[in-house]
């Protein structure tokens, strides 16, 4: 059986009637299984996860984008998370019986259809990128929605699909193919996002620029920024772990903990946005059990419990494995 995962991020996390309707537009397609809908109030963004066979997932993705086009108006959007479109990003992930090239084809087909039928600009990223400078989502999204009108007038920002026109109500969409990505936030015992940014710059691969010189961070395959989430009452290091084989979730947590302690602050817990592969939780559980000189040869549920407790995944919201 061929299985593809699709993880669209839409620019609404405050209106359940909106983000649930957008998610249901995908779920209504035969062969699509909706796995998770994870809204964020302060980020004003919802991460939606669904799976199925390639053709079903492709149709589900288009129906989701179409519904977001109908229900979300970017002209009034405000939120802590970077964004430039109603459906901001729509990646395809190979799960079983499909290759990354298959997912690249799906991204191209979605981009072409969205561009033609909805008349909005579409850009391709990660493994579907048509040029090196478009591999990174952050690079494509630079300046966010507010910069789109001017960027679309330039030759270097011509979309891969759709017209090079600014559509005020929708913005632009980025589609692509990628490996499993984990959106992971580490909580700090401070409310000033400047502290969170300092920790993020310490750990993320890009690091920071000091006197014109780029100083890389502690971890590979990690992108990160700091922000403050009023609903949680704390600042967070917000990270995308883009290759779990290179940097697993427990390594990201430990690096943030080390950086925070060196700066006189503390990590108090963490938060997963969307889904994470079970193996990543098992790896984290084994890591922390081993550090405690306890045997990791216990039932899987106990290993996962050790990971949940060690990573503090229940601090800001309930975490149900």
Residue 42 is predicted with a pLDDT of 93
Residue 117 is predicted with a pLDDT of 98
Which one is predicted more confidently, 138 or 64?
64
Residue 166 has pLDDT above 90, yes or no: yes
Per-residue pLDDT of 269-311, as tens digits, reads: 999 998 999 999 999 999 999 999 999 999 999 999 999 999 9
pLDDT above 90 as % of the chain: 96
* Average confidence (pLDDT) over 61-85: 97
Cβ-proximal residues to 239 (8 Å cutoff; 6+ apart), any chain? 183, 184, 185, 186, 200, 203, 204, 222, 223, 224, 252
Token readout for 60 is 């589900």
CA atoms of 186 and 258, how far apart (whole Å): 12
Which one is predicted more confidently, 320 or 218?
218
How much is the pTM?
Answer: 0.89
Using alpha carbons only, how large is the chain's radius of gyration in Å?
A: 19
Token readout for 32 is 């699509």
Pairing of β 3-6 and β 267-273: unpaired
- The answer to whether the beta carbons of residues 62 and 29 sit under 8 Å apart is no
Residue 303 is predicted with a pLDDT of 97
Residue 320 has pLDDT above 90, yes or no: no
Residue of 5, 128, 129 lying closest to 57 (CA atoms): 5
Residue 140 is predicted with a pLDDT of 96
Token readout for 90 is 């729509």
Cα dihedral sign for 23, 26, 29, 32?
Answer: negative
> In this predicted structure, which of 45-49, 104-108, 136-140 has the lowest mean pLDDT?
136-140
Residue 310 is predicted with a pLDDT of 98
| Residue 266, helix vs strand vs coil | coil
CA atoms of 113 and 254, how far apart (whole Å): 43
Q: How many CB atoms lie within 10 A of CB 265?
A: 18
* Average confidence (pLDDT) over 98-110: 98
Residue 161 has pLDDT above 90, yes or no: yes
Q: Which residues are catalytic?
A: 81
CA atoms of 212 and 214, how far apart (whole Å): 7
pLDDT tier at 106, thresholds 50, 70, 90 = very high
- The answer to whether the beta carbons of residues 107 and 128 sit under 8 Å apart is yes
297 burial via Cβ count (<10 Å: 0-12, 13-18, 19+): exposed
CA atoms of 88 and 82, how far apart (whole Å): 9
Mean pLDDT for all residues in the chain: 96
CA atoms of 95 and 118, how far apart (whole Å): 29
Residue 14 is predicted with a pLDDT of 97
Residue tagged 């519904």 (tokens): 67
Residue 57 has pLDDT above 90, yes or no: yes
* Average confidence (pLDDT) over 250-256: 98
Token readout for 163 is 């017209």
């Amino acid at each position: 059986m061929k299985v593809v995962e699709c993880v669209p991020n839409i620019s609404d996390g405050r209106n359940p009637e909106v983000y649930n309707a957008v998610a249901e537009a995908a779920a209504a397609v035969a062969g699509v299984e909706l796995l998770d809908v994870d809204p964020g109030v302060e980020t004003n963004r919802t991460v939606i996860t669904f799976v199925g066979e390639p053709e079903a997932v492709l149709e589900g993705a288009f129906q989701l984008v179409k519904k977001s086009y109908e229900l979300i108006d970017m002209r009034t959007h405000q939120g802590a998370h970077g964004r430039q479109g109603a459906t901001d990003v729509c990646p395809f992930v190979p799960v079983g019986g499909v290759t990354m090239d298959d997912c690249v084809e799906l991204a191209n087909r979605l981009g072409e259809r969205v561009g033609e039928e909805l008349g909005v600009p579409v850009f391709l990223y990660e493994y579907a990128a048509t040029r090196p400078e478009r591999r990174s989502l952050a690079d494509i999204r630079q300046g966010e929605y507010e910069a789109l009108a001017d960027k679309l007038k330039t030759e270097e920002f011509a979309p891969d699909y759709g017209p090079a026109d600014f559509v005020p109500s929708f913005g632009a969409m980025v589609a692509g193919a990628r490996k499993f990505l984990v959106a992971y936030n580490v909580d700090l015992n401070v409310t000033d996002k400047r502290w969170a940014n300092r920790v993020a710059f310490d750990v993320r691969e890009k690091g920071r620029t000091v006197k014109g010189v780029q100083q890389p961070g502690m971890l590979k395959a990690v992108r990160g920024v700091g922000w403050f989430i009023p609903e949680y009452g704390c600042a967070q290091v917000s990270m995308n772990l883009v290759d779990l084989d290179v940097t697993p979730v427990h390594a990201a947590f430990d690096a943030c903990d080390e950086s925070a302690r060196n700066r006189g602050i503390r990590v108090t817990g963490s938060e997963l946005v969307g889904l994470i592969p079970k193996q990543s939780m098992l790896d984290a559980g084994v890591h922390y059990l081993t550090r405690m000189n306890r045997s990791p040869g216990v039932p899987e549920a106990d290993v996962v419990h050790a990971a949940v407790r060690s990573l503090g995944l229940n601090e800001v919201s309930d975490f149900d494995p």
